[in-house]
A and B are shown apart, each in its own frame.
Chain A
């Protein structure tokens, strides 16, 4: 069983959060805001393509828009499979976190 990668998880969560308004520009904006890190558009598309191929998101294409130079938007929607994958990884993380002892930390 292969788990979601962290990048995939973050982008899936963002798509979920954005509901029906998840496309390249908004996803990047939202994820940059919540992670406080810079995400390049290329990095996002790399992950998005893989999520599509694994069936975690589905896509729909809008009508051409003037502000995009006559190009369409590709909207992403979370699928049931994607949702399950997210839940699964969350459960695992919680289980792992739940029974941890107090850490013995060395001064770094």
Chain B
């Protein structure tokens, strides 16, 4: 007689059977097996047994699923009961995790959006640039196509500049227009709603408008075949509308509002080899090596241009990498810095980890309340495995809730993110199935990770012990303490960082730029009449007492300075440093309050001053001229003969503070160059003065409406991305601190519940409120202090790195660290003491009476 089933069948049964059934079922089988051996022999019995096992499996599985689902319903029921029973705990836990997860999801969505730029183009497009400038000259692309078999096709675009468009009685200033090659719609995947892709931009004076422009002039009518009139400085131009394009998607690295055929472009830089004005996109054959081709083109250019000091090289940029990786001079639009994206991602992960740690901590501490349940479950036969499954599935239910809440949260917060970052993420979050899938996985793994530790602890409880009422969880859990430290280290990091970043931004906005940008109004000259009579216009403006200075210029401080090839006396052309140029009339220096350190200002009484130059201190240093006044400079490309240096102006920040002050030269341009007017106002009665300017404007220019900007505002836009980083970090800081404090609050409440009796007895024995507060908070304070100390080096390293991005920056002082840490501690202390003081004040009678 056999004593056991063959081992393999034994294990198969065990695998598919619940523990309870297994004993009886294996007994039944063994009994029947022995019977079979007696009746039909060993071999037949063995076959019979296997047959039996295999046929039993479906029934066993069915049985298991049936009872399994019953248990899951029980778990869900218990989950909701507990949720409602411990309202504040559940609420804190849910709020903390949902908040953290929503933040994470939002930033994840933002980051994926940033990576989606220009992925919608079906062709593999490359932009050809030089190593300095995003634009290249007109003739390069067609010549390249003729000489390189790799270049299949090309499309060039050039900004048109703001213009006044008229149709019948409607007039609008429209910016964002471009000249574009006829190949534009074949190469790019921007969609053309009306009109022919191939011919729309072929003929001179044809224009393709986007829905944005079409809506202004035609409402819902099909605009193709109609005409628009451009009111330019040199007169009116008619354009025939040959196509209607969809507005470019927001994840395109450039946005156009209308496109004019390149064949209508009459600018002086058309057909030039050297005048870089065109953003050039190439369609290349599949098989080529990028670096080889770049080298080949650079070499070819050197030959073509054939100039001694020509040494710029070209770069081929895949179109989908431009937005995040290209940071050349004169980009089409401000691109996103990839390092900021990394920063955002890191912040997202930090917040998520704070939230998860909270979740783990709270669930673990809360386990005390579940001890009795575990005891009961165990004594009626629950196994450890089942308990673990129960707690894990509870936490998965919980994290599914969190997931749903954060989906809602993201939906409502996307508009806020759009305004915060000044971008237009289409609100198609729910169509991002991949992203939502990934988020769901993360939510589930959050739930899983969060529940493993508590479920292991909970399932370890011994029923005898917990049912007797000794349900104290060991307070010595190092892991839990470690997690609290980690949370507050992250919070400290964020607090200190936001303080330093705030200080740096403050420093920038208050730093003396070397000139006065306040109360300076600037506007563009839009008619030849105004340019030709600029003296008269100026005098009319100056008649107002509240206008102190008026200056006509070709460009302005704040990034619109020029670079042109020049010659300097006694210096070889090859060795000339790059020199920036600011070009304005005699009042330019006064209007901007520039200080002269040596020599004199331009003076109208000196007839030679029209060809004179003023350098800044850096320029004098770079050129190596100890006495600059006997030296001279010439700019042959703009027909400027040799002229003397008459003055040196103190260094001023004509670009953002990210950049070091560059050498710059100022000179008086011919009248035809003037395109901007800067008006220095006295601070009072601004609106009256502005309407006065508008009055005078209409006297000289009847066709164009008056528009203006304040200079300090346009300077502010130089720091837009810094401002966004700051806002993001401060919001994150708030959220991180909030979540961490929620966790701390819950933790302290549980500690207090466990210490109720102890506090009562101590009070009876004569302890004062202060002693008790000290006793309870001492441990937490220690943790918080340690967290701050850990956070300091990492924070210091990060901030040094960030500040290095500014040419002009504050020094990190210990004070900020101390202040940051103290304020973090203060918040934590107020959270703790609210609870602790309340506990310490309770009547000891009530607390000892418990049980």
> Could you list which residues of chain A lie within 8 angstroms of chain B, going by C-beta atoms?
23-25, 28, 38, 40-46, 49-50, 65-74
Contact = CB atoms under 8 A, between A and B. Distances in A.
B4 interface: yes
B59 A43 contact: yes
A42 B59 contact: yes
B573 interface: no
Nearest to A43: B59
Interface in B16-43: 16, 21, 23-32, 34-35
Interface string B228-254: 000000000000000000000000000
Given A40-B55, A67-B34, A68-B31, A45 B60 contact: yes
Contact of A69 (B3, B35, B52, B58): B3
Residue from A24, A44, A69 with most neighbouring chain B CB atoms (10 Å): A69
Contacts of B2: 69
B55 A45 contact: no
A72 B63 contact: no
Given A45-B60, A46-B59, A67 B1 contact: yes
B27 A72 contact: yes
Given A40-B52, A50-B66, A69 B25 contact: no
Contacts, number: 85
B350 to A, nearest CB: 50
Contacts of B108: none
Contact of B57 (A25, A42, A50, A65): A42
B494 to A, nearest CB: 55
A69 B55 contact: no
B60 A71 contact: no
22 contacts: A24-B24, A24-B27, A38-B55, A40-B58, A42-B60, A42-B63, A43-B56, A44-B59, A45-B21, A45-B25, A46-B60, A46-B62, A67-B30, A67-B31, A68-B27, A69-B3, A69-B5, A69-B26, A69-B30, A70-B3, A71-B26, A73-B27
Nearest to B54: A40
B67 interface: yes
Nearest to A24: B28
Nearest to B24: A74
Kindly state the interface size class of chain B when it binds its partner.
20 to 34
B51 to A, nearest CB: 9
Interface in B322-360: none
A41 B5 contact: no
Interface of B is mostly: helix
B25 to A, nearest CB: 6
Interface string B310-323: 00000000000000
Contacts of A23: 24, 28
Interface string B442-486: 000000000000000000000000000000000000000000000
B13 to A, nearest CB: 9
Interface in B47-98: 52, 55-60, 62-63, 66-67
A67 B31 CA distance: 6
Contacts of B56: 40-43, 45
A41 B28 contact: yes
A74 B27 CA distance: 9
A60 to B, nearest CB: 12
Contacts of B31: 25, 65, 67-68
A49 B60 CA distance: 11
Interface of B: 1-5, 16, 21, 23-32, 34-35, 52, 55-60, 62-63, 66-67
Nearest to B35: A25
B500 to A, nearest CB: 66
A38 B30 CA distance: 18
Contacts of B26: 69, 71
Contacts of B35: 25
Given A25-B28, A40-B55, A45 B1 contact: no
A45 B4 CA distance: 20
A24 to B, nearest CB: 3
Contacts of A71: 23-24, 26-27, 30
A96 to B, nearest CB: 29
Contacts of B3: 69-70
Contacts of A50: 66
A25 B35 CA distance: 10
Contacts of B21: 45, 49
Contact of B52 (A41, A67, A68): A41
Contacts of A72: 23-24, 27
Nearest to A68: B27
Nearest to A74: B24
Given A45-B59, A46-B66, A68-B31, 6 more contacts: A38-B55, A42-B57, A45-B25, A69-B2, A69-B4, A71-B24
A72 B30 CA distance: 11
Nearest to A64: B27
B732 to A, nearest CB: 53
Contacts of B25: 24, 41, 45
A71 B21 CA distance: 12
Contacts of B1: 66-67
A72 B5 CA distance: 15
Nearest to B29: A41
Nearest to B34: A67
Contacts of A40: 52, 55-56, 58-59
Contacts of A41: 25, 28-29, 32, 52, 56, 59
A25 B63 contact: no
Given A69-B4, A72-B23, A74-B24, A42 B55 contact: yes
Residue from A24, A40, A42, A69 with most neighbouring chain B CB atoms (10 Å): A42
A41 B62 CA distance: 13
Contacts of B62: 46
A69 B27 contact: yes
A50 B65 CA distance: 12
A45 B52 contact: no
B71 to A, nearest CB: 12
Contacts of A25: 28, 31-32, 35
Contacts of B34: 67
A45 B30 contact: no
In the A-B complex, the 6 residue pairs with the closest CB atoms: A42-B56, A42-B59, A24-B28, A71-B27, A43-B59, A40-B55
A73 B55 contact: no
A16 B59 CA distance: 23
Contacts of A49: 21, 63, 66-67
A74 B21 CA distance: 10
A44 to B, nearest CB: 7
A45 B60 CA distance: 7
A46 B63 contact: yes
Contacts of A44: 59
A70 B4 CA distance: 9
Contacts of B55: 38, 40, 42-43
Contacts of B60: 42, 45-46
A41 B26 CA distance: 10
Nearest to B30: A69
A28 B28 CA distance: 10
Nearest to B25: A45
A25 B24 CA distance: 10
A49 B35 CA distance: 25
B486 to A, nearest CB: 47
B68 to A, nearest CB: 12
A58 B6 CA distance: 31
Nearest to B67: A49
Contacts of B24: 23-24, 71-74
Contacts of A70: 3
A38 B56 CA distance: 11
A85 B28 CA distance: 27
Contacts of B59: 40-46
Residue from B34, B52, B63 with most neighbouring chain A CB atoms (10 Å): B63
